[in-house]
Structure formats: C-alpha cells, structure tokens
Amino acid sequence: MAAIGFQISPKVKRLAPFFLAGPISGPLLAGVVLNFKEGRPVLGSLYAIALAEVTVCLPLITAKLSIATLLHHH
C-alpha cells in the first residue's frame, strides 16, 4: 500500500482479521481475544458478555417480539 501513498498502521493490521466476524461482533471479538492475550481477563470477560448479548440474546429478543407482534395483529 505504500506505493499508493499511504500506509496501514500496525493497530489496524492487528484488528483487521476480526472484522471478518462482522462490523459489530468483530470489534467485540477482538476485545475478548486481545484483552485475554494481554493479561486483562476482567476486561476480556466484559467484552465476552457483550459479544454473547449481541450474538445470542439480541436475536432471540427480536424474534420473540416479532412473533408476538405478528400473532397479536392476526
């Protein structure tokens, strides 16, 4: 990329693979992995809780509310 006139910072290179998991869950996954790797298990656990809420709880709540709304209007 240096031939084009800009360079990618090392921090972006370190986080880029996690964005394959998605634009929301990717940074949360990076928070889990990098914080545990760097010796911050409490912060890593908080990221893990947020990741679980986004990937499991939010879709379940959305589905439940959607089904309840559809059944209520029929």
Ordered by start, the domain boundaries in the chain are: 10-72
Residue 40: what residue type?
Answer: R
Q: According to the model, what pLDDT value does residue 3 have?
A: 61
- 22-69 residue pLDDT tens: 898 999 999 999 999 999 999 999 999 999 999 999 999 999 999 999
Instruction: Enumerate residues 6+ apart whose C-beta is below 8 A from 10.
Output: none
Q: Which residue has the tokens 């693979």?
A: 17
- Residue 6 has what DSSP assignment? -
Q: Return the pLDDT at 14.
A: 85
What is the model's pTM?
A: 0.73
Instruction: Name which of 36, 34, 27, 13 is nearest 55 in CA terms.
Output: 27
- Report how far residue 26's alpha carbon sits from residue 28's, in angstroms, rounded to the nearest whole number: 5
- The neighbour count for residue 32, using CB atoms within 10 Å, is 21
